[in-house]
Amino acid sequence: MITSPVKLWRRQKNTSALIGKKGKILQWTIIRVPAKSFIDQAPYPVVIVKMQNGENMIGQLVDWQEKDLIVGKDVIAVLRRLRTEGKEDVIYYNIKFKPL
């Protein structure tokens, strides 16, 4: 998937507003066979998080251990590198969740 730098710049307002927001894990799963662009990150957990404002969000859980994979675990939204297409390409960043 190729996204232009202009589209990334336009989305930054939505992304930056989420950094540091807290929530609780509603559900989780482990991705063992990912898409081609995420093969270097597998296996990794993906969580559904109920944010403090009541919104539900889906994202990857980072800096985790087995004990963090429980429903009701507190998490915080952080900005992390999503992927890079190549050495000369744009580095994609996105919201991921870190256990508290």
Whole-prediction pTM = 0.79
Tokens of 3: 């996204």
Return the pLDDT at 69.
94
The CATH number that applies at residue 72 is 2.40.50.840
For residue 33, the enclosing domain spans: 5-99
Rounded to 10 degrees, the C-alpha dihedral 60/51/6/62 comes to -20
The DSSP string of 42-88 is -SEEEEEEEETTS-EEEEEB-S--GGG-STT-EEEEEEEEEEESSTT
Counting the structural domains of the chain, the total is 1
Q: Among 60, 79, 95, 63, which residue's Cα sits nearest to residue 25?
A: 60
Which tens digits make up the pLDDT trace of 46-70? 999 999 989 899 999 999 999 999 9
